[in-house]
Amino acid sequence: MVGYFDPELVHLVRRTPLQRLIAELVMMRMFDELMEAISGVATRLACGAPYVDGTSPLLLVPPSTSTINALYLFENHNRARHQFAKWSRAQYINDPTQHVLDPQDTFTTACSRHGGVIREMQGVRNRIAHSNGNARTALARVISRRYGTNLNHVTPGMLLISPRFQPILLSQYISAARVIAKDCARA
């Protein structure tokens, strides 16, 4: 226990492979929960449910009778063909909701305002979940933005718990996810 709280030794503890793995798992779970929260808020708003502060959403269509009908509206209303609703990017969020929610609605503006953070979190998440060229490119953009240059040796786990960022990036993402969810629900 000697030196356990020593600031000089903390960076050694944070860089263990197990902690990097746990950080990646937390990131995957957190991003999934954020997308579920955004999807849940959008479907409830399409059903006519008020925001947390009591204001009504600005709907372009009559309120749906169920969340299943709301998802059907997102995927089919004013579309030539069926498109699955995606909730992992601001652009993807605004695409299905554009024919159901007014573009000036709080939900839509909140998703657009936080689009950069959502895109960055998705880039890290996709690199953890997938090992394809697009995921590597997206992570390289995040690393370039955070470090100021492209570093090929930085893995998602290293990035998430690097002591270079205070608070660590994983903590920043968790706080950002909470803010995004609260802004979308107008809490």
pLDDT tens column, 150-172: 888 889 999 999 888 889 999 99
DSSP 111: H
Average pLDDT (140-155) is 90
Q: Closest Cα to residue 93, out of 65, 74, 106, 69?
A: 74
Give a yes or no: residue 92 inside a domain. yes
33 or 98, higher pLDDT? 33
Mean pLDDT, the chain, whole residue set = 87
Q: Is the pLDDT of residue 47 over 60?
A: yes
Please write the tens of the pLDDT for every residue from 102-125.
999 999 999 999 999 999 999 999
Q: Is the pLDDT of residue 187 over 80?
A: no
- Say how far apart CA 177 and CA 33 lie, in whole Å: 9
Four-CA torsion 74, 78, 84, 88, nearest 10 degrees: -60
| Domains in the chain, number | 1
Please write the tens of the pLDDT for every residue from 80-106.
787 788 888 888 888 888 889 999 999
Q: Which of 29-38, 72-81, 127-136, 139-148 has the lowest mean pLDDT?
A: 72-81
**Residue 73 belongs to what domain range?**
24-123+166-185
Give a yes or no: residue 13 inside a domain. no
Give a yes or no: residue 17 inside a domain. no
User: Euclidean distance between the first and final Cα of the chain, in Å?
Assistant: 43
- Read off the pLDDT band of 15 (50, 70, 90): low
Give a yes or no: residue 107 inside a domain. yes
Give a yes or no: residue 153 inside a domain. no
Q: Is the pLDDT of residue 24 over 90?
A: yes
Give a yes or no: residue 5 inside a domain. no
Give a yes or no: residue 8 inside a domain. no
- The 8 Å CB, 24+ separation contacts for 120-123 are 120/145, 121/27, 121/31, 121/34, 121/173, 121/176, 121/177, 122/31, 122/88, 122/89
- Read off the pLDDT band of 6 (50, 70, 90): very low
